[in-house]
Chains A and B, each alone.
With several copies, the nearest count.
Chain A
Amino acid sequence: MALDSGTTAWLLISTALVMLMTPAVGFFYGGLVRKKNIISMVALSFIVFALVSIQWVLWGYTLAFGPDIGGFIGGLQYLGLEGIGTTSPDAAYPPLLFVAFQLVFATVTMAIVTSGFAERVRLSAFIVFALLWTTLVYDPLAHWAWGGGWAMAFGSLDFAGGTVVHISSGFAALAVALVVGKRAGFGQYTMEPSNIPMTLLGAALLWFGWFGFNAGSALAANDIAATAFLVTNTSAAAGALSWLLASWVRGKPSSLGMVSGAIAGLVAITPAAGFVTIPASIIIGAVAGLICYACLLWRQKSGLDESLDAWSIHGMGGLWGALATGIFAAAAVNGYSGLIEGNVQQFIANAAGAFAALAYAFIVTLILAKVVDMTLGLRVSEEEEYVGLDLSQHGERV
């Protein structure tokens, strides 16, 4: 296929947009923690970005997109990007650009996982964990869904990463939080977000970047990209409003609730973006806002300290999105039908893909975190935690 400059232009800028999401996660999370840990939280995202950027070109890409081995993982053919040419007979864009586009998905996924470590992780151990996680959890999951693995073969639809990115990172954050344990003082005194405007900035950049994430996943500048763009926005808006209203009934409608709802809507539409209609996207987003809000309330009541809520928003929002894709996919949009159009098989395939990803991510993360914790110690000392990670891990102060 000849290289198409319009498609290439769109993929180039989409990659840049998605790249911005990794620091955006940092700012989103940074505003939610206490003042003494803001820098640490933002820095984790940057570190993740740098680490995974190198891992991906060295061995991550080939594990995800190398020739399929047993439906589970890619072979090592493209180690160090060996053999990735500048043009390809199958694509209207340069193959290296596809590598870059996929790279930024891997980084942002790892960044979401930092939620579970908030305000208590030892930097050195985190780096080891991150390398292991992206290699042993992200890369296989990317292979399953997009690289020719079993889920793809089974017909499970994941347009832009509902399972690969969100279910995986959300449930991984949960596993991590269980392993590292609660922050000192959690439950005894309030730990309020210390920089809400920073979180709002992160949310704005995430929303902005998500257009590259979802509409870019069309891998073309065409009508599917346009649909993905608009449903992404509509779902986010619906999620923002439904969370806002639901929380209003219970008290004050906080700005954090609103942007959490927007993220919930963005997460849920991610696997569905190229397959559903505008009205469906409103429903998907609105329901996502409600589900994630309910999960957050449950998480709070349960005393679980996964307090930046990657689990309730990305994990549960992603799960809902994967199922919703199986429900709402409309043949008129992209040729795939879901439950509503009578295609039970699609729903089953999507549910299978989602739950398999969930289980794999949760269990393997649990093991990885436990191993790293027992060998290197994932958690800082009590004094370091008290002083804050900014000072104790970075020697810096806001």
Chain B
Amino acid sequence: MMIKAIIRPERLEFVKQELEKAGINGMTIREVQGRGDQKGITLTYRGGKMNVDFIPKTMVDVVVADEMAEKTTEIIMKAARTGKVGDGRIFIIPVVRSFRIRTGEEVQ
């Protein structure tokens, strides 16, 4: 399973640490921009208001064995949470097969 989490960039450090404690090291990250159901953040200022559509987020892909999926999701969810709007989402996506390029072997 691929656990695809979209989190606040500033929570990445925690997420990484917590996953590491659980022995989950492999992951791929990148900067993305996102908006949720609130359509971003609305700022007001003298003379008008302004909607900031897309907020920078970090996307984290962690591929784990199926039986680890739930636990991994739990860990990320807890480590990434601040409780405020914008904490992000986690999607679990099936992985049919998985390989290690260096050795050519199939991983679990």
Within 8 A of A (CB), among B52-73: 52, 55-56
Which residues does chain B contribute within 8 Å of A35, judged by CB atoms?
56
Complex Cα distance, B52 from A387, in Å, reads 8
The reply to whether A252 and B45 contact each other, CB–CB distance below 8 Å, is: yes
Q: Is the CB of A252 within 8 A of B10?
A: no
Residues of B within 8 A of A185 (CB): 10
- Of A190, A251, A387, the most chain B CB neighbours within 10 A belong to A387
Does B43 sit within 8 A of A, measured CB to CB? yes
| A252 and B50 contacting across the interface, CB-CB below 8 Å | yes
Picked from A248, A387, A395, the residue with its CB within 8 Å of the CB of B41 is A387
Interface residues of A in 36-57 (CB under 8 A from B): 36
Q: A185-B10, A383-B41, A387-B41 are in contact. Are A395 and B50 (CB under 8 A)?
A: yes
Does A36 contact B56, Cβ atoms closer than 8 Å?
yes
Enumerate chain B residues within 8 angstroms of A248, measured Cβ to Cβ: 46-47
Q: Contact: A391 with B47, CB < 8 Å? A: no
Cross-chain contact A391 with B52 (CB below 8 angstroms): yes
A189-B10 Cα distance, complex, nearest whole Å: 6
Assembly CA distance A5 to B46 (angstroms): 51
Nearest chain A residue, comparing its CB with the CB of B54: A397
Task: Judge whether A383 and B47 touch: CB under 8 Å.
Answer: no
| Chain B hits for A249, CB < 8 A | 47
Q: How far is the CA of A300 from the CA of B48 in the complex (A)?
A: 20
Question: A386 at the A/B interface (Cβ < 8 Å)?
Answer: yes
Interface mask (B1-18 → A, CB under 8 Å = 1, otherwise 0): 000000000110110000
Q: A190-B13, A391-B52, A395-B50 are in contact. Are A386 and B45 (CB under 8 A)?
A: no
Of all chain B residues, the one with the shortest Cβ separation from A249 is: B47
Which B residue sits closest to A382, measured CB to CB?
B84
**Residues of A close to B11: CB separation below 8 A:** 189
B47: chain A residues within 8 A (beta carbon): 248-251
Q: Is the interface of A mostly helix, strand, loop or mixed?
A: helix
Please give, as numbers and ranges, the residues of chain A lying within 8 Å of B56 by CB-CB distance: 35-36
Task: Kindly report which residue of chain B lies nearest to residue A35, judged by CB atoms.
Answer: B56
**A214 part of interface (Cβ distance < 8 Å):** no
Distance of A189 Cα from B9 Cα, bound (Å)? 10
What total of chain A residues lie within 8 Å of the partner, measured CB to CB?
Answer: 19
> If the complex has contacts A252-B50, A387-B52, A387-B55, are A392 and B43 also in contact, measured as CB distance less than 8 A?
yes
A373 within 8 A of B: no
Report Cα–Cα, A395/B46, bound state, in Å.
13
Chain A nearest CB from B31 CB (Å) reads: 9
Measured CA separation A250–B56 after assembly (Å): 27
Q: How far is the CA of A36 from the CA of B10 in the complex (A)?
A: 13
Chain B residues with Cβ below 8 Å from A381 are 43
Evaluate contact between A387 and B43: CB separation under 8 angstroms. yes
- A55 to B26 CA separation, bound complex (whole angstroms): 49
Q: A378 to nearest B CB, angstroms? A: 16
A163 and B48 CA atoms in complex are apart in Å by 39
* CB-CB nearest in chain B for A184: B10
Query: Is there contact, CB below 8 Å, between A384 and B43?
Result: yes
Q: How far is the CB of A220 from chain B (nearest CB, A)?
A: 48
A249 to B48, CA, bound (A): 10
Query: In angstroms, how far is the closest chain A Cβ from the Cβ of B42?
Result: 8
* B52 to A: closest C-beta gap in Å: 5
> Closest CB of chain B to A177's CB: distance in Å?
21
For A250, what are the chain B residues with a Cβ–Cβ distance below 8 Å? Answer: 47
**Nearest Cβ in chain A — how far from B57, in angstroms?**
12
Bound CA span A381–B43, Å: 9
21 contacts between A and B (CB under 8 A): A35-B56, A188-B10, A189-B10, A189-B14, A190-B13, A248-B46, A248-B47, A249-B47, A250-B47, A251-B48, A252-B45, A252-B50, A381-B43, A383-B43, A384-B43, A387-B41, A387-B43, A387-B55, A391-B43, A391-B50, A391-B52
Which B residues contact A (CB, under 8 angstroms)? Answer: 10-11, 13-14, 41, 43, 45-48, 50, 52, 55-56, 86
Report the 10 A-B pairs with minimum CB-CB distance, sorted nearest first: A189-B10, A387-B52, A392-B43, A391-B52, A387-B41, A189-B13, A383-B41, A185-B10, A384-B43, A251-B48
A-side residues, CB < 8 A to B, are 35-36, 185, 188-190, 248-252, 381, 383-384, 386-387, 391-392, 395
In addition to A189-B10, A190-B13, 12 A-B residue pairs with Cβ atoms within 8 Å of each other are A36-B56, A248-B46, A250-B47, A251-B50, A252-B50, A381-B43, A383-B43, A384-B43, A387-B52, A387-B55, A391-B52, A395-B50
